[in-house]
Amino acid sequence: MGTIVLTGAAGLVATAVREPLRRAATRLILVDRAPLTAEAPQEEVRQADLSSVEAVASIIKGADAVVHLAGVPDEAPLPALLEANVLGAHHVLEAARRTGVPRVVLASSNRLTGLYPATRTVSPDEPPRPDGLYGVSKVAVEALGRLYADKFGLQVVCLRIGSLEPRPSEARHLATWLSPRDCAGFVLAAVSQPGIHFATVYAVSANTRGFWRLSDELGYTPQDDAESYGISGADAFFTDDMPQGGDFATPAYTITHGGLDT
């Protein structure tokens, strides 16, 4: 796969995909504000932020792909989300355009459609219904990806990442769980699948009660199923009046974490 740049390399998702990417790549450049240590000869570590296009361009120049996972990973005040998630994604996409990096994988989120009811099967073609300000920021990230694919010819994959956990632990995970194995599978496919112009794909395991229509656009078939873990509470959760976002979709969650006045 040549040279791959992984931003947000100290984060949860990056930790799950670091080793598989390292095995697949000729060179893996790990970027984070937090200090990291290279674990193999083909790894390089860059302690940096994504505060400007120029800073990003100096890191990604010559790469074959960028897997952009940096950003605020949950509900937060909108200014923080705009700076870290939206502007960060723009800096990566614009730097890729300027330096000729052909493919960018963007971390989107299942929370972009979290206000659809739990009984509804949703495809990436349906309108966003974000369950909070975090989901709103991911709508903007996907729109930027679409713009840079259509206007500038970048190959862009938006992964709507599910609930990445070692194992499912609650009723909502029966639909949203993403196993570490499947997380790595989706990211590797997003980097390597040929013929991509723009794709939005739910990255989630093959859960029996899944909320989302899975696509074969990336050529990856998920392997794991939350149903096999014996999680209780499904009957109470999977109802018409329960949003797919669960507790994330409540007004209290955004008021508390989004810095809104009560």
134 classed as catalytic: yes
Q: Which residues contact 235 (CB under 8 A, 6 or more apart)?
A: none
Q: Which helix (H) or strand (E) holds 30?
A: strand 27-32
Of 215, 105, 210, 118, which is closest to residue 168 (Cα–Cα)?
A: 210
Contact between residue 200 and residue 79 where contact means Cβ atoms under 8 Å apart: no
Q: What does the block give as tokens for 124?
A: 């990436």
d(CA 214, CA 178): 13
Q: What is the DSSP letter of 128?
A: P
Which one of 116, 134, 148, 253 is the catalytic residue?
134
Q: What are phi and psi of 6, to 5 degrees?
A: -115, 110
Active site positions, annotated: 134
